Structure 1
Amino acid sequence: MARSYVAPLEASIHIDAPPAAVWAVLHDQRRMADFSEETYKQGFIGTPVREGTVSINLNKRKAAFWPTISRYTEVVPERRLAFRVIGPSATWSYDLEPAADGGTTVTERRRLTNDRAALASIVTARLLLGGVTNHDVELVQGMHDTLARLKAEVERG
């Protein structure tokens, strides 16, 4: 039986580099498709990314594609990057914490407004993505994969 997740979804990883090095890669959100399986294409209104920047996104899963629009809500250099996806009532964030060894712990989270997805998200998940629970399981795995790719890129330096 598939595990059902309660918001927020999250994953963390340790990167052997200081927050400034992680931020330099993460802040360039034009590269998110290099790290995230679900991100197919993005366009931005306002760059570099700062609070208020809007991104128009095309996401994918297998043969399914769907558009989203996001607004960046927090851009704190070397600490936090967050954006709210308009429609699904979801806020995605990346928190960077300096580690004692000089590295950085990065935590990716997805929070739903009032811990509930909007009706449009539930319908989309059911019709295109195999249901909310299945999509949540895939999102958590995707977070781990995204962070592993970010780690490899930063550590390759």
Structure 2
Amino acid sequence: MENDLQAEIEIAASPSAVWQLVRDPAQMPRWSPQVESVRMPEGESVDVGTRFTNRNRDGELAWVTHGEIVRYQPEREIAFRIDENWVTWSLALAQTSGGTLLTQRRETSEGISPLSTELADGFYGGVAAYGEVMLKGMRETLAAIKTTAEE
């Protein structure tokens, strides 16, 4: 889809080691410039169907979203769909000769919700401009995960 985004980074660590970092959405605030906190259900394991709540921030703008894990393949991929904007975010791992290729995607196979489109228009100058903000954040997130994995 035209609003899909993708960023990737090579990490000098095994897929198993990288998976330990990215397998739980509650860890995303460690790396993402926009995700401030993630609340997971107490005592529930992370798997397909697990629901969670995010608190996001960009400058003075703060908002809450609700997600559900839709794909979960240990050491290969985690993906979750956000209710408010219909977007699916994923982190996919592939073994390389030097370690792991980590790919983050924003998939918009259902389009982007009218609410999200309206907010992107009002606060960012449109969906395309907001996509640029998201892509920059994805690159920052991946770089931070790489730094953590290679420590």
Identity %: 31
Task: Give the partner amino acid of 2:122.
Answer: L
Q: What is the aligned partner in structure 1 of residue 109 from structure 2?
A: 113
Instruction: Tell me whether 1:15 sits opposite 2:15 in the alignment.
Output: no
Distance 1:131 1:65 in 2: 18
How many angstroms does 1:51 deviate by? 0.8
How many angstroms does 1:133 deviate by? 1.6
Task: Give the partner amino acid of 2:40.
Answer: F
Q: What is the aligned partner in structure 2 of residue 91 from structure 1?
A: 88
Q: What is the aligned partner in structure 2 of residue 75 from structure 1?
A: 72
How many angstroms does 1:124 deviate by? 1.4
Task: Give the partner amino acid of 2:78.
Answer: L
Task: Give the partner amino acid of 2:8.
Answer: S
Given the superposition, is the C-alpha separation of residues 29 and 75 from structure 1 closer, same or farther in structure 2, using an over 3 Å criterion? same
How many angstroms does 1:134 deviate by? 1.5
- Determine if contact 1:30/1:42 at 8 Å carries over to the other structure: yes
Instruction: Give the TM-score taking structure 1 as reference length.
Output: 0.90
Q: What is the aligned partner in structure 2 of residue 36 from structure 1?
A: 32
Runs of 4+ in 1 over 4 A off after TM superposition: none
Counterpart among 129, 137, 142 of residue 142 in structure 1: 137
Residue by residue, what CA displacement relative to the aligned partner does 1:21-69 show, whole Å, maximum 9, x if unpaired? Answer: 0001111322211100110111012643211111111111110011110
Unpaired runs of 5+ residues, structure 1, are none
Task: Give the partner amino acid of 1:73.
Answer: V
Q: What is the aligned partner in structure 1 of residue 20 from structure 2?
A: 24
Task: Give the partner amino acid of 1:50.
Answer: D
Unpaired runs of 5+ residues, structure 2, are none
- The DSSP-based 3-state class of the residue aligned with 2:101 is strand
Distance 1:110 1:12 in 2: 12
